[in-house]
């Protein structure tokens, strides 16, 4: 039986690359994204793969349970789900106005939780499946340059820890994918350096992490050596180092 794969956020650069990998493996795909034109383009890239799609705005929280239900019906169950949507937002605006902060928190945390709850309920009931959720290294420590986004991703990391332990007895795998910055449209206005990953390579590492059953994975892998230093640097020292605490 072919693997049934749901990609939520399939129109993101990384989500599209992940979908391409699964299509190459002969998976049966259901792709969900917000932008219809981008979604059709991604589906067309699947070539002869068995792929269906749905347009949905995950920030419309009241509709997400139905999005999941339709995916389960179309795929006739589920083996693997990858949640790949997110938005950096405007840090300066978000720290001065809750009206600007709330959409960042909703996109990166609340909307993901509203999808994970019905997904987890289903996978727990059938006692199988894999869940991969893209978070960020920004969730490991609050920094002035992106702490609203980082707070949402940090909360998501904690939620996934609890979900992983809840679903462990049912044999359901939950993988937290802590991404470093990636050269995608979301980071178009960011100055690039050697630490930026490329979407195709990042997607390959995401699928590899899911295949290997990892609980948490830093992507690219070198962030696993960097982030413990960032996380555990004493606050006073951290604040005096502009490359860590600067804008």
Kindly report, residue by residue over 158-170, the tens digit of the pLDDT.
999 999 999 999 9
Average pLDDT over residues 110-119: 98
More confident residue, 247 or 76: 76
> Angle at CA 150, nearest 5°, toward 189 and 8?
80
Task: Output the pTM of the full model.
Answer: 0.93
Given a cut of 90, is residue 194 above it in pLDDT?
no
Sign of CA dihedral 142, 147, 151, 154: negative
% of residues, the chain, pLDDT over 70: 99
Beta bridge partners of 178: 135, 218
Q: Is pLDDT of 100 > 80?
A: yes
CA separation, residue 109 to residues 81, 106, 149, 239 (Å): 17, 5, 9, 27
Contacts of 178 (CB under 8 A, 6+ apart): 135, 136, 137, 139, 140, 157, 216, 217, 218, 219, 223, 227
Q: 191 versus 210: which is more confidently predicted?
A: 210
pLDDT, mean of residues 209-231 = 96
Give the model's pLDDT for residue 85.
Answer: 97
Q: Which pLDDT belongs to residue 48?
A: 64
Q: Lowest mean pLDDT of 29-33, 111-115, 161-165, 185-189, name the range.
A: 185-189
How confident is the model at residue 5, as a pLDDT?
Answer: 98
Cβ within 8 Å of residue 112, ≥6 positions away? 58, 83, 85, 133, 156, 159
Average pLDDT over residues 114-129: 98
Q: Which of these, 182, 189, 231, 159, lies nearest to 84 by C-alpha position?
A: 182
Report the mean per-residue pLDDT for the chain: 94
pLDDT at 185 over 80: no
8 Å CB contact between 145 and 89: no
For residue 3, which of 49, 54, 40 has the smallest C-alpha distance? 49
Contact 115, 58 (CB under 8 A): yes
The closest alpha carbon to 75, from 19, 12, 2, 171, belongs to: 2
| 8 Å CB contact between 58 and 107 | yes
| pLDDT confidence tier of residue 186, bands split at 50, 70 and 90 | confident
**In 10 A of CB 119, how many CB atoms?**
24
In the chain the domains, ranked by start, together with CATH numbers, are 4-245 (3.40.50.720)
What average pLDDT score do residues 32-51 get? 90
Cα angle 134-93-104, degrees, rounded to a multiple of 5: 25
């Amino acid at each position: 039986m072919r693997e049934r794969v749901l990609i939520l956020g399939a129109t993101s650069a990384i989500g599209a690359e992940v979908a391409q990998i699964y299509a190459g493996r002969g998976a049966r795909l259901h792709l969900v994204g917000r932008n219809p034109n981008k979604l059709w383009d991604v589906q067309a890239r699947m070539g002869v793969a068995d792929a269906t799609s749905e347009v949905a705005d995950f920030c419309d929280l009241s509709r997400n349970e139905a999005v999941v239900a339709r995916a389960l019906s179309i795929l006739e169950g589920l083996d693997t789900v990858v949640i790949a949507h997110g938005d950096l937002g405007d840090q300066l605006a978000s720290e001065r106005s809750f009206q600007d902060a709330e959409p960042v928190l909703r996109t990166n945390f609340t909307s993901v939780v509203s999808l994970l709850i019905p997904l987890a309920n289903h996978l727990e009931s059938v006692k199988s499946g894999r869940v991969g959720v893209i978070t960020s290294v920004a969730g490991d420590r609050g920094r002035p340059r992106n702490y609203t986004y980082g707070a949402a991703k940090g909360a998501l990391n904690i939620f996934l820890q609890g979900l992983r332990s809840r679903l462990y007895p049912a044999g359901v795998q939950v993988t937290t994918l802590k991404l470093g910055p990636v050269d995608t449209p979301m980071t178009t206005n960011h100055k690039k350096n050697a630490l930026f990953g490329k979407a195709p390579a990042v997607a390959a590492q995401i699928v590899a992490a899911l295949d290997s059953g990892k609980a948490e994975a830093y992507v690219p892998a070198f962030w696993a050596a960097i982030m413990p230093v960032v996380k555990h640097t004493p606050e006073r020292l951290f604040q005096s180092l502009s490359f860590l605490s600067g804008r």
